[in-house]
Structure 1
Amino acid sequence: MSDSRRSENALTADARQPRSYWGFRQISFVVLMAGLTALFIALGTWQVERLAEKEALIAAVEARFDLEPQPFPAPGDWDALDPEALDYARFELTGTFDNTETVLVFTNLPDPAGPYGGVGYWVMAPFSLEQGGIVWVNRGFIPDAAAADFADGGDAPEGQVTLEAIARRPEQANSFTPDPDFGERREWVRNPERLSAFLDDAAGPIAPVTLDRIAREPGELPQGGETQITFPNRHLEYAGTWYLFAAITPIMLGFWLWRQRRPRNLAHEEKDN
């Protein structure tokens, strides 16, 4: 066999060898896919943890919401209270509304229990307990068109009253929450600390939770009984989606690696045939 023939056969054999070169792009792609797999697993695990938290919340709400109302804790115990532990518990308390200190908290009620919903306000009023201290009571929802009628409390009951209400932990402001509008007495979150900044002279301590009044007669404003006790729970579905992505990503990487090992001259052979 001539030297030229041997050289040609060597070149042909070399062309049929699997691709063995690994550059920065190839290595980067493998690292990317491995990182995505780890990320998808982490997201799926996080959703499983959120599922456990949501199920615990639902169980706590159901347990507390159906109990008989208890006397509201005494003001001397408020510093030691955990708002999370009181969330959705029923209480009975006696005191007096201060109509002049009413604050309207902007809200949107998309799925109301009563006839009114949509854009509107929670009517928040300070309730001075007979044993001292102030609790902010959410008297209920009013539509935006009725805001002017409740700027000074509207038809808030006069004198000492006893009411039944549901405790709610404070809503927290974030970087997107506007500042309180003290001139119009408008707020954006039901937070006792922020609401108390509207008070000219707070007589005593402020309770660390707000209270939602239960429903009154249908059609009455403010519309009570709007405490949300149902929660969306799709965390299992989300977890399954992330875990599916975590399973598919290595398969895609394996197919890509297999493609990298195909003979270099395969395309030329298919063209010649």
Structure 2
Amino acid sequence: MTDDTTRSLAFPTLFALCGVAVLIGLGVWQLERLRWKEGLIATLDARLAASPVALPPPPRWPALAQANDEFRRVNFSADFIAGQEALVYATGSALRSDVKGLGYWVFAPARLAGGGIVLVNRGFVPADRKAPDSRPQSAVDGVVDVTGLMRWPERRGLFTPDDDARGNVWYARDPAAIAAAKGWGAVAPFYIDMEAPQLAGGLPRVAPIRTIRLTNNHLQYALTWFALAAGLAAVYLVWLFGRRRKSP
């Protein structure tokens, strides 16, 4: 093989080696993501299956973290502040098969016996029951024993609409933003998805969440990257064999 031939092979060889290395790296990364996702699913399933525990008191709230505490089942007694609620726009739910079509999550401030306010997602109401006077049974009086899931604020996306505070409609489940606009004062950095009790009238509609279906296609992605790496290597070898056959 001449020096010119060797030089002509250098760039394609380097390109092929780098391409195969990158594709294999992506495949390995997807396998790491697979292990992470399987661990996350197992953790969430365990939290949903566990018996509820007492809601941590306000002094412990700053130490709570989404990674460690989201979807943990808790119970507590609270007094819902009369006549106060905020509506969060919903187009269905990935976690609840009973929630279909347009409607709203009803968020209400609940005052804990030991102090502190936590926002509670009391459940879903259809769009035609948005007005509180269309569901008078939803009013709550007195102390209620609540069971629910700890949830963290929903991240706003690039296309999330601006909240309509005057119309009492929000487009992200963000307890701090809702409380600030409504003048409810400082609230917990999380909110509670209420699963019990179902209060009189059936609206807002609560339901326990027992399964979280997370998309887990990482093995498929890993196999795709590895197949592409093998394909690139095969194409390079066929090309190299052809060049060598043609070389004098």
Q: How high is the TM-score relative to the length of structure 2?
A: 0.82
The residue matched to 1:224 in structure 2 has which SS? coil
Going from structure 1 to structure 2, the CA distance change for 1:76 and 1:24 (only over 3 Å counts) comes to: same
Deviation of the 1:223 alpha carbon: 2.2
Aligned length: 245
Tell me which amino acid in the other structure corresponds to 1:190: R
The partner residue of 1:252 within 235, 239, 246 is: 235
Conservation of the 8 A alpha-carbon contact between 1:20 and 1:261: no
The answer as to 2:111 corresponding to 1:121 is no
1:225 corresponding residue in structure 2: 207
Going from structure 1 to structure 2, the CA distance change for 1:263 and 1:69 (only over 3 Å counts) comes to: closer
The answer as to 2:177 corresponding to 1:214 is no
Going from structure 1 to structure 2, the CA distance change for 1:158 and 1:30 (only over 3 Å counts) comes to: farther
The answer as to 2:124 corresponding to 1:141 is yes
The residue matched to 2:182 in structure 1 has which SS? coil
Going from structure 1 to structure 2, the CA distance change for 1:51 and 1:119 (only over 3 Å counts) comes to: farther
Q: Alpha carbon RMSD of aligned pairs, Å?
A: 3.2
Going from structure 1 to structure 2, the CA distance change for 1:110 and 1:163 (only over 3 Å counts) comes to: closer
Going from structure 1 to structure 2, the CA distance change for 1:113 and 1:263 (only over 3 Å counts) comes to: closer
Point out where structure 2 has 5 or more consecutive residues left out of the alignment.
Answer: none
The answer as to 2:65 corresponding to 1:82 is yes
Going from structure 1 to structure 2, the CA distance change for 1:256 and 1:62 (only over 3 Å counts) comes to: same
Conservation of the 8 A alpha-carbon contact between 2:95 and 2:213: no
The residue matched to 2:237 in structure 1 has which SS? helix
Point out where structure 1 has 5 or more consecutive residues left out of the alignment.
Answer: 1-17, 266-273
Deviation of the 1:57 alpha carbon: 1.4
The partner residue of 2:172 within 160, 181, 189 is: 189
Q: Percent identity?
A: 33
Tell me which amino acid in the other structure corresponds to 2:54: P
Q: How high is the TM-score relative to the length of structure 1?
A: 0.76
Going from structure 1 to structure 2, the CA distance change for 1:235 and 1:183 (only over 3 Å counts) comes to: same
1:236 corresponding residue in structure 2: 219
The residue matched to 1:253 in structure 2 has which SS? helix
Deviation of the 1:25 alpha carbon: 8.9
Distance between the aligned counterparts of 2:203 and 2:189, measured in 1? 26
Going from structure 1 to structure 2, the CA distance change for 1:35 and 1:197 (only over 3 Å counts) comes to: farther
Distance between the aligned counterparts of 1:153 and 1:129, measured in 2? 24
CA deviation profile, 1:238-258 (whole Å, cap 9, x unmatched): 211111112211111111222
The residue matched to 1:207 in structure 2 has which SS? coil
Greater CA radius of gyration, 1 or 2?
1
Deviation of the 1:117 alpha carbon: 0.7
Deviation of the 1:92 alpha carbon: 1.0
The answer as to 2:2 corresponding to 1:56 is no
